[in-house]
Amino acid sequence: MRVLVVEDEEAIAEPLAEGLRREGFTVTVAGTGAEALAAGEADVVLLDLRLPDLDGLDVCRELRARSDVPIIVVTARGEEVDRVVGLELGADDYVVKPFGIRELIARIRAVTRRSQGRAVDAPINIGELQLDERSRRVTIGGEALELTPKEFDLLSALARDPGAVVSRHRLLEEVWDTSWYGSTKTIDVHVAALRRKLGDAALIETVRGVGFRLRA
């Protein structure tokens, strides 16, 4: 998932970007409103309202006019008016500084799910693999696969962004609804089962020390 972080304070932007990258996100940092508007496409935008060149609310308005990309406004404490106006201009959520990385990631997941829910959920096609999240059906070369609920959720989490690395912690949050930081052996067991059912172990690649990715 591609995240655009719009934040002019390096002391905040760099640790935030690094934390998101550790969780498997692809991060671009923009230090000004102009850089944010000139940046490439993103799957979610984290937008600080206090920017050196443009009003963050104007940036929010322009981004929303261009696309339906989920926007999370970042504010300082006490800026209730900015939060309200930001939401009225089309932001999907807001977080208040200081914030924790776990809270932020949870909010990213939430706005992304809501954004996906607004659109027609077309099946995901990757080579001969087709995954339909609405009907929870998976086929390979037209033949249906019998997957357990967790196997389907795991494959779905990987298939939403083929080629991108999905961290173990992110999989635990999305598939097992937990932020447990202990052993993640259960993921390996389910990945092994998925590989057998898919008939091609190379479809799901292990990225040592990080997580897994579905071969694009």
What is the mean pLDDT of the segment spanning 41-54? 93
Residue 80 has pLDDT above 50, yes or no: yes
User: How far is it, in rounded angstroms, from Cα 178 to Cα 198?
Assistant: 26
Predicted model pTM:
0.58
What is the mean pLDDT of the segment spanning 207-211? 89
User: How far is it, in rounded angstroms, from Cα 215 to Cα 202?
Assistant: 8
Please name which of 77, 87, 25, 27 lies closest in space to residue 56, comparing C-alpha atoms: 87
What is the mean pLDDT of the segment spanning 164-169? 87
Helix (H) or strand (E) run with residue 200 in it? none
Report the pLDDT value the prediction gives residue 120, as an integer from 0 to 100. Answer: 45
Phi/psi for 29 (5° steps) reads: -110, 130
State the distance between the two ends of the chain, measured CA to CA, in whole angstroms: 14
Report the pLDDT value the prediction gives residue 111, as an integer from 0 to 100. Answer: 81
User: How far is it, in rounded angstroms, from Cα 114 to Cα 179?
Assistant: 21
Partners of 2 in beta bridges: 26
Region of residue 167 (phi > 0: left; psi between -120 and 50: alpha; otherwise: beta): beta
35-44, 136-145, 161-170 — which is least confidently predicted? 161-170
Question: Taking the alpha carbons of 11, 14, 20, 25 in that order, is the dihedral positive or negative?
Answer: positive
> Which domains are delineated in the chain?
2-118 (3.40.50.2300), 124-214 (1.10.10.10)
What is the mean pLDDT of the segment spanning 83-96? 80
User: What single letter denotes the amino acid at residue 207?
Assistant: V
Residue 96 has pLDDT above 90, yes or no: no
State the DSSP string of 114-181. HHHHHS--PPEEETTEEEETTTTEEEETTEE----HHHHHHHHHHHTSTTS-EEHHHHHHHHS-----
pLDDT in tens, 168-203: 888 887 787 665 555 568 889 999 999 999 998 899
